[in-house]
Structure 1
Amino acid sequence: MWAPGPALPLLGRRRESVPMRLPGASTIRSPMMKNETITVKRHSLLYRILHWAIVLEILLLLLSGLGVSEYIPLTLISRGVARSLHILIGLTWTGTITFFVYYFIMSGEYKWFGASKIGPAIDFFVHEFRSFILGKKVKTPVGYNRSEKKYSEKVVPTEVLAWWGWFSLWAIMVLTGLSLLFPDYFGFINRLCYAILPAFSKEKLHNTVC
């Protein structure tokens, strides 16, 4: 099973005059010859399974989290059931994330999202935003080397910012979840959250209501 990908520029000279295809389903068209296409494997099946497992687990964490919330309670399920589900799904999600990061590193995917790419990604995002305002097109830096059968650049720079943004949110979710589950050991995280967002302090909310 292969996932379709966007049309990408090829590197190297064209030798064939007929359409070409490689195993996979990401179609790539050469800017020089419109009839020339190849298909490449963008992500493995395991990568996609982990991706959608994380999405599903986050949605379930959101629903079960609202079920135990004191501020936006979800009445579809009881608080006790919601808490049990939240803990179970949270631990499962943490395991999935841990394995995903391990696979992300071992498969070499991490090289497209390294910390050294954050600076250029910010510059590209600013350029992309300005071009959007001015109604100009932005040329994608993504490219595929046909002779070596591998990407010369696999992701758009703004994807780097999205990855690091999600990674930061994952870390926050893990830490805040542990602080609620084990307040004796991670209580300092709760105190830090109340210091940063004093409006969510139970004492202040109680005084406001009274």
Structure 2
Amino acid sequence: MLFFFALLICSGPSSYDNEEKTTFRYVLEHQPMSRRGYIVNARTEKREVFVPKTDVPSPETYQMDLNKIPETKRAFRPFNSSCDRFPTVFKSTTIPGPGSYESDVKQNRQVHMLHSFGGRTKLIPAVKTKCMPLNKDKCVICLTQPIGDYYQYRNEVLCADCFNFNWQWQEKFKRTYLQAFQKVRDCSHMHQHAGTAARIQLVDDRIMKKLQRKEAYLSLYWP
């Protein structure tokens, strides 16, 4: 009987003020501090008590007044867009027809390279460069020294004009025989020999490699 009476006298679970002794401020003020410190150079004084600030503005002071209509800028165009609503469709006259394309063109053209097992690949130039102190080659038809690129097969030399003429009309050489000729040029654009076997380089090797790669690629479409 006394046990049940004692239970009635005790307070219930909701009658304690737990928020007063569980706050962070209460822990800082009542936490025991050692005057001698815990380690070397440890803090021995009592912690500073934080004074609450009550002179701060309330949250509603930052909220904008919703009773006023906000000012807006007028758009320079309707819906801020000056594009055409319906884009213009290209006419059939501006686009080439299907018959204007070459369907029988060779596809997947690749530059020819020399490969070796375990070695680096080497570009096969479209035009062979002959390094010689003085160019004495002469065309076997017109007997003149060729200017620029020309064609050679073994000891026979043809200038570009004679080669193109015989390729079209086959006057002196057949087209099957002209296929063995290779386009060559002298080294005057990259070396300076001055009549001797020694050479002075006029163009950097990196620039020459770039030009050779570009020439090899363009020769696939314009031989």
Q: TM-score w.r.t. structure 1 length?
A: 0.21
Greater C-alpha Rg: 2
Which one has a larger percent helix, Structure 1 or Structure 2? 1
The TM-score normalised by the length of structure 2 is 0.20
